[in-house]
């Protein structure tokens, strides 16, 4: 795909048959962006579901994330190659550094450069970061340039709006990817959001997703 899709199917906490069925059902409903991670322990099942779906690879946008154990220069690319084997694909559309983990002994410059090497090898079409605050994002930009960072995937909900970080990313031209946007389902019972939804003849989920899209793309 030429750009990051507006909506995607996350697989956090999904295991075994549950993740296979979730990905299969999502693809049948029209989802084309699938998000997984090394630490989720479900890349093989995601790959199985994608392979069985019959959806062409070039119609999909597959994201995975490098876990902190694999940040060292000699570990990152081999770990991504193992992820690709599990996902049954020659490349992923986006690879993220999952957590900044400043205390794990690997300098930020090292793992960002290793991530850029993975892209140069053709293992990932795009690269980015996840859960980076403003200061750490600045350091990532210094390491490989803001043009190289496709997105920062961050928790974003009406209860955790991260407005300063969002505004900073927008100024830098870095895409904002939101996760936990429904706040673990809490927004569905929120009376204020419910009233807004009723006024617009929509569901609370539709209202919150529309809010997040507006916040992330304005």
Active site residues: 40
Residue identified by tokens 């779906």 is: 53
Strand order in the sheet with 9-10: 9-10, 33-35, 61-66, 94-97, 127-130, 149-155, 175-179
Instruction: State the Cα–Cα distance between residues 189 and 205, nearest whole angstrom.
Output: 10
124 three-class SS:
strand
Distances (CA, A) of 110 to 2, 7, 24, 133: 28, 31, 37, 18
CB 216 within 8 A of CB 160: no
Instruction: State the Cα–Cα distance between residues 182 and 133, nearest whole angstrom.
Output: 21
To the nearest 10°, the Cα dihedral for 132, 124, 118, 36?
50
Burial class (CB in 10 A: 0-12, 13-18, 19+), 19: buried
**Terminus-to-terminus CA distance in the chain, angstroms?**
22
């Amino acid at each position: 795909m030429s750009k990051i899709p507006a909506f995607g199917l996350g697989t956090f906490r999904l295991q075994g048959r549950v993740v296979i069925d979730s990905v299969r059902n999502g693809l049948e409903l029209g989802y084309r962006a699938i998000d997984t991670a090394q630490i989720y322990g479900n890349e093989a099942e995601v790959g199985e579901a994608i392979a069985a779906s019959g959806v062409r690879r070039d119609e999909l946008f597959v994201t995975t994330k490098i876990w902190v154990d694999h940040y060292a220069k000699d570990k990152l690319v081999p770990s991504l190659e193992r992820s690709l084997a599990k996902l049954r694909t020659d490349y992923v559309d986006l690879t993220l550094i999952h957590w900044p983990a400043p205390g794990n002994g690997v300098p930020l410059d090292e793992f960002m450069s290793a991530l850029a090497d993975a892209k140069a090898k053709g293992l990932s079409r795009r690269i980015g970061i996840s859960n980076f605050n403003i200061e750490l994002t600045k350091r990532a930009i210094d390491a490989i340039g803001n043009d190289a960072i496709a997105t920062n995937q961050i928790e974003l909900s009406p209860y955790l709006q991260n407005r300063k970080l969002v505004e900073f990313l927008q100024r830098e031209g870095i895409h904002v990817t939101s996760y936990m946007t429904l706040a673990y389902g809490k927004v569905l019972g929120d009376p204020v959001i419910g009233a807004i939804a009723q006024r617009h003849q929509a569901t609370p989920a539709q209202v919150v997703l529309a809010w997040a899209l507006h916040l992330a793309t304005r």
